[in-house]
Amino acid sequence: MKVIKVKNYEEASQKAFEIFRDQVKEKPDSILGLATGSTPIRMYELLAEDHKVNGTSYKNVHTFNLDEYYGLAPTHPQSYYYFMTEHLFKFLDIDLNNVNVPKGNQDIQAECDRYNTMLAENQIDLQLLGIGSNGHIGFNEPGTPFDSVTHYIELDESTRKDNARLFFDGVLEDVPTHAVTMGIKNIMEAKRVVLIACGDNKATAIKGLVEDEPTTSLPASILSTHPDFTLIIDEGAASKLDK
Ligand code: PGA
């Protein structure tokens, strides 16, 4: 595991942006694994700016998003498909046919199977992750087996509260109770993984990831065994580390 410690969210976003931009420049037909949530927003702005100013092209890039809320159509303003369009895709020259986000409003098992088949045929070159305050990656909540593939999952109360604070205008009842998420095995199959964690509320999860043995009670902890894992943390997220 490579740890990049930076001062704040802006610096963390810069570092992650550079890794993703370089990936696309070096391999224009890269397969990127993408994430939603508040963390990647600034990094996506930087990618959009770089595309506009320097012309980095996404014409041949394919993307796979980690997860989607169950029950929300892609056109729903709180869906993750909509999030990706608004924060990134509409600013790039990416072909929307090359963009993959699990569909939360379809026959759920058929959709999980479809996503798993696509992932099996398309190894992700570079996977972006955030981390939940409870240590989840994607929507793999504590207790999810490390060998899980794309599946339907009930969201933890803490996750729904975290997401209500940032999205859904603060209304907990509006946050879906279930989601579809890539499994931990799918995430671990990416060639390279980059996780960004910022803020004090991530410090306990980051301490567990960096200092403890992998345990399913902290899903992100398995990443310490990934052969090419980069952790980008700001001072808040690093504040509970012993070393
Ligand atoms: P956040 O969510 O970026 O909004 O903190 C991260 C996550 O839940 O994975």
Annotated catalytic residue 226: no
From the number of C-beta atoms within 10 Å of its C-beta (0-12, 13-18, 19+), residue 117 rates as exposed
Q: Where are the domains of the chain?
A: 2-233
243 pLDDT above the threshold of 80: no
Q: How far is the CA of 45 from the centre of ligand 1 (A)?
A: 17
Cα of 40 from ligand 1 centre, angstroms: 9
* pLDDT confidence band for 150 (50 / 70 / 90): very high
Closest CA to 168 of 86, 79, 88, 85: 79
> Is residue 15 scored above 80 in pLDDT?
yes
97 annotated active-site: no
User: Per-residue pLDDT tens for 36-93?
Assistant: 999 999 999 999 999 999 999 999 999 999 999 999 999 999 999 999 999 999 999 9
Of 51, 62, 87, 136, the active-site residue reads 136
Give the mean pLDDT of 206-233: 98
Catalytic residue among 65, 100, 134, 163: 134
Which ligand 1 atom is the nearest neighbour of the CA of 159?
8
pLDDT band for position 121 (cuts 50, 70, 90): very high
- pLDDT attached to residue 194: 99
Average pLDDT over residues 4-16: 98
User: Which residue's CA is the closest to the ligand 1 atom numbered 8?
Assistant: 132
For residue 197, what pLDDT is reported? 98
Residues having CB closer than 6 A to ligand 1 are 37-39, 130-132, 166
The CATH number corresponding to 2-233 among 3.10.180.10, 3.30.710.10, 3.40.50.1360, 2.60.40.10 equals 3.40.50.1360
Looking at the predicted structure, is the pLDDT value of residue 112 above 80? yes
Q: State the distance from the centre of ligand 1 to the C-alpha of 24, rounded, in angstroms.
A: 24
Determine whether 135 is exposed, middle or buried from the number of CB atoms within 10 Å of its CB (0-12, 13-18, 19+). Answer: buried
Statement: the pTM of the whole predicted model exceeds 0.85: yes
In angstroms, the CA 163 to CA 175 distance is: 7
Distance 38 CA to ligand 1 centre (A): 6
Q: Does 65 participate in catalysis according to the annotation?
A: no
Work out the average pLDDT over 136-149. 98
pLDDT on residue 166:
92
Determine how many CB atoms are found less than 10 A away from the CB of residue 68. Answer: 28
Q: Kindly report the protein residue whose alpha carbon is nearest to atom 2 of ligand 1.
A: 37
Calculate how far, in angstroms, residue 168's C-alpha sits from the geometric centre of ligand 1. 14
147: annotated active-site residue: no
Distances (CA, A) of 151 to 24, 102, 112, 115, 140: 29, 10, 6, 9, 9
Inter-axis angle of helices 9-26 and 41-54, to 10 degrees? 50
pLDDT at 211 > cutoff 90: yes
Q: Which atom of ligand 1 is nearest to the CA of 202?
A: 5
